[in-house]
A and B are shown apart, each in its own frame.
Chain A
Amino acid sequence: MSAISVHKGKEKTSRETDNLLEIKNLKTYYPVKGGFFKRTVGNVKAVDNISFEIKKGETLGLVGESGCGKSTAGRTILRLLRPTDGKIIFDGKDITKVSGKSLRDIRKDMQMVFQDPYASLNPMQMVGDIIAEPIYNFTRKSKAELKKEVMDLLDKVGLPPDAYYKYAHEFSGGQRQRIGIARSLALRPKLIIADEPVSALDVSVQSQVLNLLKDLQKEFDLTFLFIAHDLSVVKHMSDRIGVMYLGNMVEVADKDLLYAEPLHPYTQALISAIPSPDPRIKKERIILKGDVPSPINPPSGCPFHPRCPMAMEECSKTKPVLKEVKPSHRVACHLY
């Protein structure tokens, strides 16, 4: 159906193509209940038909403005949310429909780092216990072994050993995020989904955490799905970048290609909108009109056409599909 699956060919499995994760036409809708009997009266199309893949050891950045569905996509891949349609292939296995014990086994290999370091750590638990819990859940190791492993993890993320006996409130935002990272590493997962891991942090602390994530990726051979709204952070972290708008993937490309030559009008506007931290650079800015429409009632055709400076008649009628216009550069736009 989509251009990618055609491009990849039917007989090749993801194992042969070194893809750790493959997403095919993924859809996640939230039902809108209404009326006296609370029947489903509509859907919030949070993720509406996205496809991409992540190779082993690669970082894919997912950017977009609030409400574009990037977090929902991340949570659906982890199967924290039930996909409405489509396929999630992780490490050669289709995990779209798995449940129970097999889902539990898969979760060991994919972990998440959350946005808010203040809300994602249990205030009643000692940091040592927070990090040990996932290990204990899967391995039932002895207390001494657990402690040794946690100490090791604390050291890896740059926290002092006495952090083991402290509680989350005793740490600053950046340190809490390190605890969250240690917890996500505890089971030596293959894939880490980081959902806005630095957006709650100050610049100087943000750079510490970004450096740490890059170091850990090398050391543990991790694959990242890095979700963020800050384009310069995403560019720093990723190998390839996917741009989302209103539940749709509008452009996927290698990061240098995407920044040097953005093809989709939305990506162009997004990149031009970032204020540059250099007063000598005066750039031509594309100012978009209006706000992002509601995903309950998305516009017909291309979801971006009401705000697009280059909209044509066709754009309001048919929805463009993501297709490869240049090597490793896919875009969903009628201009190409």
Chain B
Amino acid sequence: MSTKKMLRNEAPLLEVKNLETAFDIEGTDYNAVDNVSFQVKPRQIVGIVGESGCGKSVMSLSIMKLLPKGIGKVKSGEIIFDGKNLEKMSESQINKIRGKDVSMIFQEPMTSLNPVFTIGYQLQEVLFNHMKISKQEARQKAIALLKSVGISRPEKLVDEYPHQLSGGMRQRVMIAIAIACQPKLLIADEPTTALDVTVQAQILELLKEIQAVNDMSVILITHDLGVVAEMCDEVIVMYAGRIVERADVDTLFHNPKHPYTTLLLGAIPKMDEQEERLSSIQGIVPSLTNMPKVGCRFAHRCPKAMPKCFTVTPVLGDIEQDHEVACLLYETSIPREGVK
């Protein structure tokens, strides 16, 4: 409890304000991320959950400025990291931060390492980019990093190629690369989705350990609510490009307010209960080109939908301290005049 209070008063490390990221599809812009705002405090682990197509990965790419060129772009909004607005920075300024202060782990450990370079080379590349360091030192540092992510024979492994490693080992190498310069913020995009459960347990344990040792903030993007419950301090639930609910992990799992969150929690088979039927959500997520222009994007699947849900766009409002919901069932979500 005390750490939570401490976090509340601290200045945020990352602040995303009214972010809109659009994709250009045949000449028209479609918002994959629509007016999203949130904060990440120092040393906090924030989970972003949602089903495929909810915009969680696009958002992380927007923060890292890694959107595919010419197709995706940040239309409006601010991304303030450590007091600096990333949106206003030039490519070369971004390069100094990316990989050093903010780094990222991707979903596919099989494809995110370069197959033609050794593990050691790829680790040292980050070090050379961001530090003044000799070849000898870089090699020593690479070995030390591999050791810190729990790889048992780092001296041999630095000279090996990615295909010689298993999925879990590759993900460890990815983590080693990501933490090489002791970043302040680590964005982990589905870091364990491609792994088996027993290996997933190893990697999650490692991430927790590294987070504590390095005093990092972590944004953990996942579709697995189990992983979120296990790892995060705070959870953001996204649906179709918007945040529908944000709360600390205990509140979200035990007192969810948005109908989507409630249904999502009911849809997972539980290990410790026996239920005949799972709650399911009728229909599917609307595609990007088919998104309703006004109103709540979940309305046509929502069992509690009211007529106004199709005409009024709910805003994210505090229903209690540190618990935000965007649903017209709650008064705080009804937009006031003149406010978008």
- Interface residues, chain A, CB within 8 Å of chain B? 65-66, 172, 174-175, 202-208, 210-211, 214, 229, 231-233, 235-236, 256, 259, 269-281, 285, 287-288, 291-292
Bits for B160-187, please: 1 = Cβ < 8 Å to A, else 0: 0000001011000000000000000000
A291 to B203, CA, bound (A): 12
Q: Please give me the residue from chain A that is nearest to B235 by CB atom.
A: A279
User: Which residue of the partner chain, among A206, A276, A285, contacts B271 with CB atoms under 8 Å?
Assistant: A276
Residues of chain A within 8 A of B272, CB atoms compared: 276, 281
- Besides the contacts A206-B267, A279-B253, what 10 more A-B pairs have beta carbons closer than 8 Å? A65-B198, A172-B284, A205-B281, A214-B276, A229-B196, A259-B271, A269-B198, A277-B225, A277-B268, A285-B201
Residues of chain B within 8 A of A275, CB atoms compared: 200-201, 204, 224, 226-227, 229-231
A210 near B278 with CB under 8 A, answer yes
A270 near B204 with CB under 8 A, answer no
Q: A204-B264, A207-B267 are in contact. Are A273 and B198 (CB under 8 A)?
A: yes
Q: A65-B198, A273-B200, A277-B268 are in contact. Are A205 and B284 (CB under 8 A)?
A: yes
Closest chain-B Cβ to A286's Cβ sits at a distance in Å of: 8
15 contacts between A and B (CB under 8 A): A202-B52, A203-B264, A205-B51, A205-B280, A205-B284, A232-B269, A270-B198, A273-B197, A273-B201, A274-B197, A277-B225, A279-B253, A281-B272, A287-B205, A288-B202
B250 near A291 with CB under 8 A, answer no
Closest chain-B Cβ to A179's Cβ sits at a distance in Å of: 14
Q: Which of A256, A277, A281 counts the most chain B CB atoms within 10 A?
A: A277
Chain B's interface: helix, strand, loop or mixed, by majority?
Answer: helix
B225 near A174 with CB under 8 A, answer no
A232 to B266, CA, bound (A): 13
B51 near A203 with CB under 8 A, answer yes
User: Which residue of the partner chain, among B169, B198, B265, contacts A277 with CB atoms under 8 Å?
Assistant: B265
- Chain B interface residue count: which class? 35 or more
A274 near B226 with CB under 8 A, answer yes
B227 near A274 with CB under 8 A, answer no
Bits for B35-78, please: 1 = Cβ < 8 Å to A, else 0: 00000000000000001100000000000000000000000000
A66 near B253 with CB under 8 A, answer no
**B263 within 8 A of partner (CB):** yes
User: Which residue of the partner chain, among B168, B223, B226, contacts A291 with CB atoms under 8 Å?
Assistant: B168
**B129 within 8 A of partner (CB):** no
A274 to B269, CA, bound (A): 12
Q: Please give me the residue from chain B that is nearest to A63 by CB atom.
A: B197
Q: Please give me the residue from chain A that is nearest to B265 by CB atom.
A: A277
Residues of chain A within 8 A of B229, CB atoms compared: 275-279
Q: Which of B166, B249, B268 counts the most chain A CB atoms within 10 A?
A: B268
